[in-house]
Structure 1
Amino acid sequence: MMFAGWKRLVIAMLLLASSHAALAADQCPALSQRQSDAQVAIRIAAVACDEHLRWNRPFIDADGRLASLTAYEAEDNGLKDGGAPWRKVAYYWQSSGLLGPLAFKSGASDCNHAAMNASYPGLGCRSFVVDNPWSAAFISWVMQRAGVPGFTSSPNHYEYVRAARSNPTGSPYLFTEPMAATLAVGDMLCYVRSNRVYGFDGLVKAIDGGATSLPMHCDAIVAIDGGKAYTIGGNVQQAVGMRILNVNANGQLWGLPRRSDGDVVCSPDTAGYCNFNRQDWAALLKLKPQDELAKLGPVTPPALLPAPPVPQTCCVNCVVGSGVPRCPAQGDSQPVQPQNLLQGSQ
């Protein structure tokens, strides 16, 4: 009888563990089908999830370990649909309209053609993709595609983080302390990428003090389930990656590793201190309720998704052999044909 009792207890514990595992399942496969949902928050999650699936679902687990990564930003193949990761990143830049502000950077103009033409070598663009952080371009692309009213796209996360703090009326987001807020789908969790540790108070002082720029990273929250928060961001270990974080019964972050002054440096000798989730988490951008978002603009699904960018018919930083003529200089009337170019990029 005692053995039978223990047996029943073990079975019950296994069933309980199994139910928790089921509750904590990745919701992205189902969410990715809801890009036309009536709710803005769901559309944000759906668009981000769809891209995460395209990148073969890389993720960092709740213990801060990189658990899966099969496609990298610089590679020429590896996406689920057979596409090249670097061209996909170029598409985020181009489709979000953010290449213009970075036209002065080497290879940026090359991406206008490379993003839409798989036969174009795009060597300059490929270099641009590798050399420039693209996480803000990804977030901007997601917000545009999801039709978030009042969101201002930017190649820098700091711009919309600052807007949420400085212009809460005009922003679709509210600037909040990450550890005190209850997380919800559509929110963004952000950290500062700097040798200095800012934290929430430091970031507030920087914004209120008029800081014009600060290196940051933001992930969109796509699901809260089974004691876990699931976030997705671009350029997470050179991919569109998911991060899994612990939350308590109130939906607040729990046990989140945060950087502090004097942290032990991660190394093979101090492996216990290595954690990809340990960051200078400084802000949670809280997505406003649907009725408040409606005051900023239409909250219905976009009737038309952003138009696919049109490939350029000429290039600025040209590559011999690409077959694309150079754009004419001011005062010229015809593109310069590629056979007249010097060897290599100009």
Structure 2
Amino acid sequence: MNIDIPSVDVRACWQPPALRSSHAFGHWLPAIFLLVFIVPWLLSGCGGGSSGGYADRPPSDRVAYTAWQEWTKFGRSTVVYGGQAGGYVNRSGVTERSEPLSSKIGDYWGSCGHPSWNGRSSKPWSGAFVAWTMAHSGVSGSDFPRDGRHGGYLAALYDRQQKGGRVPFVLHAPNEYSPKPGDLVCTGTSGPTWRHADSRTARRRIDSTASHCDIVTDVRGGYVQAIGGNVKNSVTMSLFPVDSRGRLVPFAGKTWFMVVEKRV
């Protein structure tokens, strides 16, 4: 249906209110309605609202929520592998050499026994971010080591898994398990070769070749959303593509190492 919007002579807006009749005001109503209601409705996505991207609600998992809070606090730096997804696009946040993030990195390192290290100390701090997030989410040091090196805490988790019994974290090859909020997705130079090696070799590879881990905050729309420290010199969310089962997809620039399932 076509709606004819009446033309309006701009000289009318200079008439004093006393000269305007109720009939003249009624003549203006369609144009006023267009400007006040229709245009904002169109700009906001035809009234449907936004359920994705940066308007998302925080995750319910406690570890994921702690990471999400830090990401939000420091400007929501984002990397999307694939261009854009669900409203997320590449963007920068507060950098490690700028306050308040620079001092905050000292808190991350403090959870690992190095409070004097901060964003200006040139120390890679992605492992410290993971350890701090676990500590501030109520995960005990006995369940997750306060180690600022990815290989260090992953090797310790592997040792715990090998002993059997109650296991707070389980290490999986990337093609064996679909990550969920609170889990870790990790890269490493040797890839998942540790998975089928003898225990001694596996531990050595885990300890020496782990590169980086991010904390999963959501899985939807064909992507894992995961937050990590020292990515783009900030606390950054990365969106990694997954297959129809929700498992990480190999792609150029990332060598998937393992997925760590959080059971606590």
TM-score, scaled relative to structure 1: 0.53
Distance 1:73 1:191, change over 3 A: same
Percentage identity across aligned positions? Answer: 23
Aligned to 1:52: 71
1:185-225 C-alpha deviation (Å, 9 max, x unpaired): 11100112xxxx41101576496325254452100100012
Cα distance in 1 between the residues matched to 2:106 and 2:239: 27
Query: Could you list the runs of 5+ residues in structure 1 that have no partner in the other structure?
Result: 1-17, 35-41, 78-83, 100-107, 112-124, 259-277, 294-346
Matches within 5 A, 1:49-128: 49-63=68-82, 67-75=90-98, 77=99, 84-94=100-110, 96-99=111-114, 109=116, 111=117, 127-128=120-121
The residue type equivalent to 1:175 in the other structure is L
Structure 2 letter corresponding to 1:87: S
- How many pairs were matched up? 206
Describe the SS at the equivalent of 2:233.
coil
2:186 maps to what in 1? Answer: 190
1:148–1:204 CA distance, 2 compared to 1 (3 A): farther
Deviations 1:133-176 (A, max 9, x none): 00111100100111124111101111222233232146521111
Q: In the alignment, which residue of structure 2 is the partner of 1:201?
A: 193
SS at structure 2 position matched to 1:30: coil
Contact 2:112/2:147, CA 8 A, preserved across alignment: no
Are 2:228 and 1:237 aligned?
no
Q: Which letter does structure 1 place at the counterpart of 2:106?
A: A
What 5-or-longer segments of structure 2 have no aligned partner?
1-45
Following superposition, the deviation at residue 98 of structure 1 comes to: 2.5
Partner residue in 2 for 1:310: none
Q: 1:243-278 CA deviation, whole Å, 9 max, x = no partner?
A: 001223322223x315xxxxxxxxxxxxxxxxxxx2
SS in 1 for 2:113: coil
Q: Is the 8 A contact 1:23 1:225 kept in 2?
A: no
* Letter of the 2:71 counterpart: H
Which residue of structure 2 aligns with residue 114 of structure 1? Answer: none
Q: Which protein is bigger by CA-based radius of gyration?
A: 2
User: Displaced runs of 4+ in structure 1, greater than 6 A?
Assistant: none
Quick one: distance in 1 between partners of 2:134 and 2:186? 16
